Amino acid sequence: MILVTGGAGFIGANFILDWLAAGNEPVVNLDKLTYAGNLENLRPLQGDARHIFVQADIGDRERVETLLREHRPRAVINFAAESHVDRSIHGPGEFIQTNVVGTFNLLEAVRAHWSQLPADEQAAFRFLHVSTDEVYGSLGPADPAFSETTAYAPNSPYSASKAASDHLVRAYHHTYGLPVLTTNCSNNYGPLQFPEKLIPLIIHNALAGKPLPVYGDGSNVRDWLYVGDHCSAIRRVLEAGRVGDVYNIGGCNEKTNLVVVSTLCAMLDVLHPDSPVIPHGSLIAFVKDRPGHDQRYAIDARKIERELGWTPSETFESGIKKTVAWYLDHQDWVAHVTSGEYRNWVSTNYAGNMT
């Protein structure tokens, strides 16, 4: 049995679906079901006894302690986080509450549980904390990629809150001996991603003939990691990672935002020629850059390849084809998750900034 937090979100849901497709070890899935948590992501597991869903907050220490006592998981994988940079700029308080205070309360509950386990179960137990490359700050065009020893330099309320949670996890290992693992990943994309993130937002707007917002001049660079590859890396770190260590997970696919958007437009021109506006590229609208926008992220993933034998299976070209095909085949899912709250958010974040 494993316990997954944030398992109704984009990466967490993909992880649980992949986990149960690969084996029969049950999963307790704890998720608060905020705007980005969606049980529809887990519809294939409806009625599956291997998946136990619990709606709760990682900050509810008493509830977490009860779950740990009842189910005695051999590992906790922590995906639960507020993760959207733009939202953190508009309202940083929720990010501090979930990513810092919530992680602290989760760690306290896990530490109390772990300390009471028999010696053999203590030795086998793992707490795997899923984090981001954004904690490392911003790179210049010629700077070497982030490694596991790169100094932290977070530039947004989101990345600062994740950096704080990473430090707490590290401290609980060095102070209390809690057997932790930390992963820092690059930008994920793929099925089930909430459509305020770049790739699903562009697909959603393009199909509707709406403007495709691109910050600044579109030159910001990200390393793109297909979510299925991220899930396989986490499984490998959980299986064989060295306790107390950090593993960077990247897709080896650095692309500017404008290249990503233009690639999507060209694909949709071919795959969806009945859209209201063709070519889709004519919808690109440059918007005022967000405050403190990091210029470039890049991941050096040689450690996880060298020590654990993991490398990504998808290129950007193969992963983006799978992603676009999924969204075209699941427009009912997109329609369901693009609620009034989501429309209000897009209006708040982008209205008046189109150029």
Structure tokens at 186: 């690059």
Q: What is the pLDDT of residues 322-333, one digit of tens each?
A: 999 999 999 988
Between CA 333 and CA 169 the distance in angstroms is 35
Q: Is 158 a catalytic residue?
A: yes
Do β-strands 221-226 and 254-256 pair in parallel, antiparallel, or remain unpaired?
A: antiparallel
Q: Looking at the predicted structure, is the pLDDT value of residue 342 above 60?
A: no
Q: Is 133 a catalytic residue?
A: yes
Q: What is the pLDDT of residues 59-111, one digit of tens each?
A: 999 999 999 999 999 999 999 987 666 676 777 888 898 899 999 999 999 99
Structure tokens at 305: 């390849």
Ranges of beta strands (E only) in 47-176 are 51-55, 75-78, 126-132
Q: What is the DSSP string of 83-115?
A: --HHHHHH-THHHIIIIIIIHHHHHHHHHHHHH
Between CA 111 and CA 16 the distance in angstroms is 24
Active-site pick, 31, 86, 136, 158: 158
pTM tops 0.85: yes
Active-site pick, 31, 57, 82, 134: 134
Mean pLDDT of the chain: 92
Let me know the angle formed at the C-alpha of 316 by 311 and 321, rounded to the nearest 5 degrees.
120
**Res 94: pLDDT:** 84
3.40.50.880, 3.40.50.300, 3.10.580.10, 3.40.50.720: CATH of 2-190+224-250+296-314: 3.40.50.720
Active-site pick, 133, 166, 294, 300: 133
Q: What is the DSSP letter of 221?
A: E
